């Protein structure tokens, strides 16, 4: 029995999220279908992160056990030929028996893109959150500093969650303007929020981004942010930012 680690990238708009859901097209479902087709036997996979519907990934980590002698360098292209549009295996490697995609993940990094302007280029509709009113980045950075470090993030955890321990450590929360570019001559300015932590609660990044955006709009003060964090109550925090703008960068 071999243990295989995959790096997956996907465009979240095509799928109903990562986790299996009966009757829905999910990333895990499509991956396990492709594995079944390729190896003629059902295989179970474990992912580092269970991204929500609409959330993208540059480098999701997935592990599975394999009883087949296919050379490791051939796994990625063989799987890619069985996968639908929207998902690609970037890399496959054989790992030790003690590898666990979820419990072995030491940190995760996400990026959230906000298009802060009137006319959002249609190429980015599924990749960024459009906010028309100008956001105050200085205030948002101050609020981000409050959230940085080790805290009980219960206020930023969606209620549907079955988490019990709400303490997580945020190593990095950076907010900066940068350019994204597809077509020649069209550099589009976006606000990039990067968050790196030792783990994340259900919908935590989107809830944090939602609150930071409220701060950027001047609707939530820094004092409010401190109270939201210390209150440990989801009802205190701001809205949940839409899934489109979020991407799992790396694990």
Total interface residues for a second copy by CB under 8 A: 40
Q: How far is the CB of 110 from a second copy (least distance, A)?
A: 10
Q: Which bin fits 69, alpha (ψ -120 to 50), beta or left (φ > 0)?
A: alpha
For the segment 132-161, give every residue that binds a second copy (CB under 8 A): none
Q: How far is the CB of 165 from a second copy (least distance, A)?
A: 29
Q: How far is the CB of 91 from a second copy (least distance, A)?
A: 9
Q: Does 71 bind a second copy (CB under 8 A)?
A: no
In sequence order, which residues have a C-beta less than 8 Å from that of residue 119 and are 6 or more positions away?
none
Q: Does 244 bind a second copy (CB under 8 A)?
A: no
Question: With contact defined as beta carbons under 8 Å apart, do 195 and 232 qualify?
Answer: no
For the segment 186-215, give every residue that binds a second copy (CB under 8 A): 186, 192, 194
Q: Which stretch binds a second copy (CB under 8 A): 29-37, 137-145, 147-155, 173-181?
A: 173-181
Sign of CA dihedral 102, 103, 108, 112: positive
Residue 46, helix vs strand vs coil:
strand
Q: Does 82 bind a second copy (CB under 8 A)?
A: no
In sequence order, which residues have a C-beta less than 8 Å from that of residue 100 and are 6 or more positions away?
46, 63
For the segment 11-70, give every residue that binds a second copy (CB under 8 A): 11, 14, 56, 58
* DSSP helix, strand, coil percent of the chain (3-state; round to 5): 30, 30, 40
Q: Does 107 bind a second copy (CB under 8 A)?
A: no
143 or 247: CB nearest a second copy: 247
Binding flags for a second copy, 115-134, as an x/- string (CB under 8 A): ---xxxxxxxx-x-------
DSSP code of 133?
Answer: S
Give dist(CA 116, CA 102) in Å, integer.
34
Q: Considering just the CA atoms, what is the radius of gyration of the chain in Å?
A: 19
Q: Does 185 bind a second copy (CB under 8 A)?
A: yes
Q: How far is the CB of 111 from a second copy (least distance, A)?
A: 5
Give dist(CA 246, CA 128) in Å, integer.
8
Q: How far is the CB of 205 from a second copy (least distance, A)?
A: 14
How far, CA to CA in Å, does 143 sit from each of 12, 174, 222, 243?
28, 11, 6, 21
11 or 163: CB nearest a second copy: 11
52 given a catalytic annotation: yes
Question: With contact defined as beta carbons under 8 Å apart, do 152 and 183 qualify?
Answer: no
- Which residue out of 52, 152, 163, 224 is catalytically annotated? 52
Catalytic residues: 52
Q: Which residues bind a second copy (CB under 8 A)?
A: 9-11, 14, 56, 58, 76-77, 80, 85-90, 111, 113, 118-125, 127, 178-186, 192, 194, 247, 249-250
């Amino acid at each position: 029995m071999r243990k295989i680690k995959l790096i997956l990238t996907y465009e979240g708009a095509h799928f109903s999220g990562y986790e299996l859901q009966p009757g829905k097209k999910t990333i895990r479902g499509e991956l396990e279908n492709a594995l079944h087709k390729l190896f003629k036997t059902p295989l179970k996979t474990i992912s580092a992160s269970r991204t929500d519907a609409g959330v993208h990934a540059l480098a999701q980590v997935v592990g599975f056990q394999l009883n087949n002698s296919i050379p490791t360098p051939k796994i990625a292209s063989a799987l890619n030929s069985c996968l639908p549009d929207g998902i690609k295996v970037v890399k496959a490697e054989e790992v030790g028996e003690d590898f666990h995609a979820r419990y072995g993940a030491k940190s995760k990094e996400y990026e959230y893109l906000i298009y802060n302007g009137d006319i959002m280029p249609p190429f980015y509709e599924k990749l960024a959150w459009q906010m028309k009113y100008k956001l105050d980045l200085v205030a948002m950075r101050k609020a981000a500093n409050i959230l940085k470090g080790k805290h009980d993030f219960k206020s930023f955890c969606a209620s549907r969650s079955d988490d019990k321990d709400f303490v997580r450590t945020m190593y990095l929360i950076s907010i900066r303007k940068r350019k994204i570019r597809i077509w020649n001559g069209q550099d589009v300015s976006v606000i990039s929020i990067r968050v790196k932590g030792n783990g994340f609660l259900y919908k935590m990044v989107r809830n944090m981004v939602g609150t930071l955006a409220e701060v950027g709009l001047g609707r939530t003060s820094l004092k409010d942010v401190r109270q939201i964090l210390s209150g440990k109550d989801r009802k205190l925090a701001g809205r949940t930012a839409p899934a489109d703008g979020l991407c799992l960068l790396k694990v």
